[in-house]
């Protein structure tokens, strides 16, 4: 049973614009991300994001603007933590926040070379959210396979509902 959901931020929750800082981008969520976070809000959600210029407070401000911060337990950024993905220590920090074992969490991310590889190194199952081909050149460079693949949040939701965290999806968690 999945007891925690870890999510990347850029191109997983918000649409990234190549070459722009978060503060310079038009803020819009990836299709289905907001609905997914609301649907699974009973499961602790931790954002794990590689950032160069943005701290957790910057990400929290953007999540507030999108109306999503209330669904997030914690935001961990590489800028604040001092270690970027795919280093497993940043994933361990997320596990420590929600006090679950690696097998009880799942990582959702768009980058195989960062999100999926890091989750794999930490022993965390993963979903590669491949909604656009922006980082496809990195897939061949990494010898890791995600636990699941999805092209959109409807598929991510279906994956989680198929027994992984059905009690949360149905709103019956204790």
pLDDT digits (tens), the chain, 174 positions = 899 999 999 999 999 887 777 778 788 999 999 999 999 999 999 999 999 889 999 999 999 999 999 999 999 999 999 999 999 999 999 999 999 999 999 999 999 999 999 999 999 999 999 977 655 656 656 778 899 999 999 999 999 998 554 444 333 333
Identify the three-state secondary structure at position 158. helix
Please tell me the pTM assigned to this model.
0.89
**What is the structure's pLDDT at 139?**
62
What does 23-77 look like in DSSP terms, one character per residue? GGS---BPTTHHHHHHHTTTS-EEEEE--SS--HHHHHHHHHHTT-GGG-SEEEE
Domain 4-17+27-163 has what CATH class?
A: alpha beta
CA-nearest of 49, 101, 44, 104 to 79 is 49
What are the residue boundaries of the structural domains of the chain, listed by start?
4-17+27-163
Gap between the Cα atoms of 133 and 46, Å rounded: 25
**What is the structure's pLDDT at 114?**
94
**What is the structure's pLDDT at 98?**
98
């Amino acid at each position: 049973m999945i007891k925690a959901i870890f999510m990347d931020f850029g191109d997983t929750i918000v649409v990234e614009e190549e070459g722009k800082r978060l503060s310079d981008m038009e803020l819009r969520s990836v299709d289905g991300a907001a609905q997914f976070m609301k649907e699974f809000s009973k499961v602790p959600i931790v954002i794990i994001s590689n950032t160069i210029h943005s701290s957790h407070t910057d990400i929290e401000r953007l999540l507030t603007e999108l109306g999503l911060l209330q669904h997030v337990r914690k935001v961990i950024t590489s800028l604040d933590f001092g270690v970027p993905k795919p280093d497993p220590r940043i994933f361990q920090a997320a596990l420590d926040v929600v006090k679950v074992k690696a097998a009880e969490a799942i990582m959702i991310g768009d980058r195989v070379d960062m999100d999926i590889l890091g989750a794999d190194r930490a022993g965390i199952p993963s979903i590669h959210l491949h909604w656009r081909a922006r980082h496809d050149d990195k897939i061949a460079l990494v010898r890791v396979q995600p636990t699941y693949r999805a092209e959109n949040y409807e598929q991510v939701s279906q994956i989680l509902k198929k027994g992984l965290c059905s009690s949360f999806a149905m709103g019956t968690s204790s």
